């Protein structure tokens, strides 16, 4: 286990915001986990589990607590019919896992190529992209339960996955440290039709390689065109979530001229469309650029503080609310000192709830 003191959260997160964390503990073996939580308890400090920091934002005042990072590496596979069961330690970089699977001709996660982050974080918000989500292939995870100080297994069903949610970021937020995850992947190709942007890209470029490696190449190319590379431009990916609606609310939205998408994952409004309609695409707000190619993404070009983010967020949320009557919900989690409310990952948040969470009215 490695212990560091007074590390800037801005250096640990891709949005590059946030003051010092009092302690950062990097766990390298399962035995380290109990020691890390024991360390925090002895000092009576709160804990926050961090991965690569691609979906997490720090605040100016920093964190008077212990950040714990899973650095455990390794992948272990066993054969199943027409595929493999793959157990991956939470410290593995997620995209290495996708690359490994695609190189073996295994389908199931190829559309999740190039999502920045560590494997331990992947089930937390049920990462998804281009028609796939990790819950489609995840069978179980191994966790350290901070309530009982014991290691246990949580099944797919126990995790209660939905769009950008699992119990890990809702009802049991902060309780479990993800040690490893297990996926079942099969030899094959993604079923058609593919997600719109994949179909369009393939037909525009006359591509016919539908193998996992072929789809990975397409998704990587689309993402390079659309999304900022966190190693070059500071962002937390999509800053706002899409809005999921009931059928009745969707009909109301449609009658008001708002485009609705109906898919396997539910009925949704593309929040990027709402932002675009408010003429915010490409705008620089308090140091944050609303991405031209992906308006849900805020790029930190010159913001110095969390106060800038607060101001930019309020401007976008208010404009969308004033024009359409929908509240945009924030996707990234924030590292907060115990007494502050956290605008994301609020326990009990449901995918179709659309209520204000940071009171922008
Ligand atoms: C440019 C860009 C593009 C992105 N594109 C997508 C996309 O297409 N689809 C998508 O779903 N996401 C996307 N994201 C968001 C992000 O990549 C994912 O949420 C990813 O899983 C975050 O991994 P991380 O290791 O950085 O997690 P972190 O940001 O470090 O943590 C995220 C959450 O998981 C918790 N956590 C982390 N590790 C553990 C653990 N071991 N045990 C328990 N809890 C843990 C943290 O406490 C926090 O609540 C994107 C982000 C960026 C910057």
Ligand 1: nearest atom to the Cα of 112 = 8
Under 8 Å between Cβ of 347 and 171: yes
**Average per-residue pLDDT in the chain?**
92
Quick one: what percent of the chain has pLDDT higher than 90?
89
Q: What are phi and psi of 5, to 5 degrees?
A: -120, 150
Ligand 1: nearest atom to the Cα of 120 = 41
Q: Sort 181 into a burial class: Cβ within 10 Å, 0-12 / 13-18 / 19+.
A: buried
Residues taking part in catalysis: 164, 238, 331
The confidence score (pLDDT) of residue 344 equals 55
Q: Sort 277 into a burial class: Cβ within 10 Å, 0-12 / 13-18 / 19+.
A: middle
Continuous H helices in the chain: 30-42, 94-103, 196-204, 212-226, 247-255, 271-277, 306-324
Confidence tier at 346 by pLDDT (50, 70, 90):
very low
Which protein residue has the closest C-alpha to ligand 1 atom 52? 237
pLDDT tens, residue by residue, 309-340: 999 999 999 999 999 999 999 999 999 997 66
Ligand 1 midpoint to CA 6 (Å): 23
Q: What CATH class is the domain 75-226?
A: alpha beta
Cα 135 from Cα 165, distance rounded (Å): 10
Which protein residue has the closest C-alpha to ligand 1 atom 21? 122
The domain 2-70 is placed in CATH, from the list 3.30.43.10, 1.20.120.340, 3.90.1150.10, 2.60.40.10, at 3.30.43.10
Quick one: what percent of the chain has pLDDT higher than 70?
94
Which protein residue has the closest C-alpha to ligand 1 atom 1? 237
Q: Please list, in sequence order, all residues whose beta carbon lies within 8 angstroms of the beta carbon of residue 96, skipping any fewer than 6 positions away.
A: none
Which protein residue has the closest C-alpha to ligand 1 atom 45? 121
Domain segments of the chain as ranges: 2-70, 75-226, 234-335
Does residue 357 come out as left (phi exceeding 0), alpha (psi in the -120 to 50 range) or beta? alpha
Confidence tier at 106 by pLDDT (50, 70, 90):
very high
The confidence score (pLDDT) of residue 339 equals 66
- pLDDT average, residue stretch 253-266: 89
Cα 100 from Cα 314, distance rounded (Å): 41
Ligand 1 midpoint to CA 298 (Å): 16
Look at residue 252 and tell me whether its pLDDT is greater than 60: yes
- pLDDT average, residue stretch 129-143: 96
Cα 211 from Cα 216, distance rounded (Å): 8
User: Between 94-103 and 212-226, two packed helices, what is the crossing angle to 10 degrees?
Assistant: 140
Confidence tier at 263 by pLDDT (50, 70, 90):
confident
- Given the DSSP bridges, would you call strands 20-27 and 47-50 parallel, antiparallel or unpaired? unpaired
Ligand 1 midpoint to CA 211 (Å): 26
Look at residue 349 and tell me whether its pLDDT is greater than 50: no
Which protein residue has the closest C-alpha to ligand 1 atom 37? 121
Q: Please list, in sequence order, all residues whose beta carbon lies within 8 angstroms of the beta carbon of residue 157, skipping any fewer than 6 positions away.
A: none
The confidence score (pLDDT) of residue 340 equals 61
Look at residue 304 and tell me whether its pLDDT is greater than 90: no
Question: 13, 15, 55, 239: which to mutate for ligand 1, most atoms within 8 A of CB?
Answer: 55
Ligand 1 midpoint to CA 117 (Å): 5
- pLDDT average, residue stretch 287-300: 97
Cα 160 from Cα 251, distance rounded (Å): 27
Cα 53 from Cα 16, distance rounded (Å): 9
Ligand 1 midpoint to CA 269 (Å): 22
Ligand 1 shell residues, CB under 6 Å = 14, 48-56, 70, 90, 115-118, 120-122, 124-125, 127-129, 168-169, 176-178, 227-228, 230, 235-237, 333, 345
- CA separation (Å) from 159 to 123, 166, 228? 8, 5, 30
- pLDDT average, residue stretch 163-190: 96
- pLDDT average, residue stretch 272-277: 97
The residue ranking higher by pLDDT, 346 or 113, is 113
Confidence tier at 341 by pLDDT (50, 70, 90):
low
Q: Which fold has domain 234-335?
A: 3.90.78
Half-sphere exposure of 19 (CA within 13 A, CB side): 13
- pLDDT average, residue stretch 133-155: 97
- pLDDT average, residue stretch 36-56: 97
Picking from 33, 22, 88, 90, the residue whose alpha carbon sits closest to that of residue 61 is: 22
The confidence score (pLDDT) of residue 163 equals 86
Ligand 1 midpoint to CA 207 (Å): 31
pLDDT tens, residue by residue, 14-29: 999 999 999 999 999 9
């Amino acid at each position: 286990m490695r212990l560091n003191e007074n590390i800037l959260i801005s250096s640990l997160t891709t949005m590059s915001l946030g003051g010092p964390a009092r302690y950062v503990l990097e766990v390298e073996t399962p035995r380290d986990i109990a020691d890390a939580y024991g360390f925090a308890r002895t000092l009576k400090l709160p804990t926050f589990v961090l991965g690569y920091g691609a979906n997490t934002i720090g605040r100016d005042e920093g964190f008077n607590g212990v950040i714990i990072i899973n650095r455990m590496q390794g992948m272990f596979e066993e054969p199943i019919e027409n595929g493999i069961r793959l157990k991956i330690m939470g410290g593995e970089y997620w995209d290495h896992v996708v690359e490994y699977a695609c190189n073996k001709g295994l389908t199931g996660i190829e559309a999740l190529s190039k999502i920045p982050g560590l494997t331990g974080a992947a089930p937390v918000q049920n990462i998804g992209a281009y028609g796939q989500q990790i819950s489609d292939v995840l069978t179980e995870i191994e966790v350290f339960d901070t309530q009982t100080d014991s290691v246990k297994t949580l099944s797919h069903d126990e995790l209660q996955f939905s769009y950008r949610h699992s119990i890990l970021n809702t009802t049991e937020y902060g309780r479990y440290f993800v040690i490893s995850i297990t996926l079942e992947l099969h030899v094959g190709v993604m079923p058609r039709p593919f997600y719109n942007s994949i179909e369009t890209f393939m037909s525009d470029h006359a591509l016919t390689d539908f193998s996992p490696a072929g789809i990975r190449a397409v998704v990587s190319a689309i993402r390079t065109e659309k999304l900022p590379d966190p190693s070059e431009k500071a962002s937390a990916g999509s800053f706002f979530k899409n809005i999921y609606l009931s059928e009745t609310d969707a009909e109301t939205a449609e009658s008001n001229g708002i485009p609705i998408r109906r898919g396997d994952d539910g009925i949704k409004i593309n929040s990027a469309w709402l932002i675009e309609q408010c003429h915010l695409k490409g705008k620089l707000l308090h140091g944050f650029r609303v991405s031209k190619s992906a308006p849900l993404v805020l790029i930190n070009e010159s913001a110095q503080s969390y106060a800038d983010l607060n101001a930019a967020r309020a401007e976008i949320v208010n404009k969308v609310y004033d024009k359409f009557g929908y509240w945009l919900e924030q996707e990234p989690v924030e590292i907060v000192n115990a007494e502050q409310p956290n605008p994301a990952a609020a326990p009990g948040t449901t995918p179709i709830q659309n209520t204000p969470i940071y009171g922008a009215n």
